[in-house]
Structure formats: structure tokens, C-alpha cells
Chains A and B, each alone.
Chain A
Amino acid sequence: MIDWLTPYIDPALDVASWICFIIGGFYLIVGSIGMIRLPDFWARLHGAGVVDTLATELFILGMILQSGWSIVTIKLVLIGVFLFFTSPTSTHAVANAAWLAGIRPKNMKQQAPLTGNQEKSS
């Protein structure tokens, strides 16, 4: 039934991988530019967020499309799931450490709300 499709599957997967790599590379470079251009630490966190989330997952998706059904696919899925769960955790750890160390954004719109840790942050 799907025999006539067979010659088209590989080129279609190639095109899909190309799209994933190009969009992923775009976001990767945009996130890195953001880490250079954005003015202070709190803004750079979001630039790093672009690198850590969409760019990474798109690259891994592109590699999954090229790997076929094998053990390589499973390893790639494991890497993707692992990065999906750990990257927000480490971002939160960096942000929380900087907050406790008393680093605040430049030109902030409003004063930070009082929290229980204010006296520690000094």
C-alpha cells in the first residue's frame, strides 16, 4: 500500500532534517548573540534560555530524523529528555544564587518585592 511512498521517504527525511538544523542553528546563534548583546546578567539568562531550549531540541530532532529506528534514536531521545528536565533546573540554580548574592537588574521598572531572604542577600 505504501510501496509507492518508499522512494520519497529518505529525501523527505533529509529535507525535514535540513529544516531542523537550519532553524536550530538560527536560534543557537541568536541565543549566543543575545548572551553578548543583552545588557546585564538577568537579561542574559533569557538569551541562554533560547540556546538551552528550542535550539537544542531542534538539533536533536534533526539527528533523530536521520538516525532511523535504532539504538541511536533511543540515546538521542534520552539526551533530549534529560536536557529538557535539567536545563531549567540549572538556570534556576544560577538565578537563585545570583539573587541571594544581591545582584539586581539595571534600570528595573519597580523595586523588587520584599522576600524572606532579603536580609541574607545584603
Chain B
Amino acid sequence: MYEIATLSIFISIVLILVRLFLGPTLYDRVLAVNSFGTVTVLLIGVLGFLTGRPDFLDIAILYALINFISTIAILKFFRYRALGLDSAYTDESIDASTPDDASQPTRSQEIPHD
């Protein structure tokens, strides 16, 4: 039964990866990465049961936590171009519609280390 579950998870992962590479906008890709993370949590859990070692679930818990935080962090970075606290409240830096703009300011000056 775990083989069937693993197979359906793999099919789902392939389809999500197709969307990840096709995705016309940045937000399609972020959405695909988020779903990919959710499915990966399931895959880790099912693989633990498949190999008879459910201890893998600790890794699955951690992956679920990191997946959520990374989604929020990616979105925050592309909206404010920085992850620090100060720059989060300057609305001038909202430029998410052109994520391919490579002319970023030097990041080390923008992130406050407090």
C-alpha cells in the first residue's frame, strides 16, 4: 500500500516540477515550490513507513516548518528586496512586478544586524 502512495506522490512531484519550470510568473513558481514542499513532507513520511523506520518523521516536521518560513521569506524578499526589519517599512522599494531586474543595491548595507 505504501508503494501505491509513493507512486502517486512521485507522479504529483513530476507534474508540480513541470509547472515549476514552465511557470510564466514568479508567483507561479513560488506556488509550485510551496506545493512541492508539502508533497515532500508526505514523501518523507511515507518513505519512513515503507522502509519500516518511522523515525524519519522528525525530519518531516522540520521540513514542514522550513517550507513555510522559506515561502514567506522568498515573498518578502521579492517584495522589499531585503529581509531586514528597517527596509520592510519603506514602500518605495516595492518593485515585485519586475523580479528579473538584476540591479540590486549591495545587500550588506540594507540588512541591519541588530
Contacts and interface: CB of A to CB of B under 8 A. Distances in A.
Given A59-B45, A78-B61, A89-B68, A29 B19 contact: no
Contact of A36 (B19, B31, B38, B39): B19
Contacts, number: 142
For chain A, what secondary structure do more than half of its interface residues adopt (helix, strand, loop), or is it mixed? helix
Interface string B58-76: 1011001100100110010
A99 B50 CA distance: 42
Interface of A: 14, 17-18, 21-22, 24-26, 28-29, 31-33, 35-36, 41, 44-45, 48, 51-52, 56, 59-60, 62-63, 66-67, 72, 75-76, 78-79, 82-83, 86-87, 89-91, 93-94, 97-98, 100-103, 120, 122
Given A29-B11, A94-B34, 6 more contacts: A25-B7, A32-B16, A48-B34, A51-B39, A59-B46, A90-B71
Interface of B: 1-2, 4-5, 7-9, 11-12, 15-16, 18-19, 24-25, 27-28, 30-32, 34-35, 38-39, 41-42, 45-46, 49, 54, 57-58, 60-61, 64-65, 68, 71-72, 75, 78-79, 91, 94, 96-97
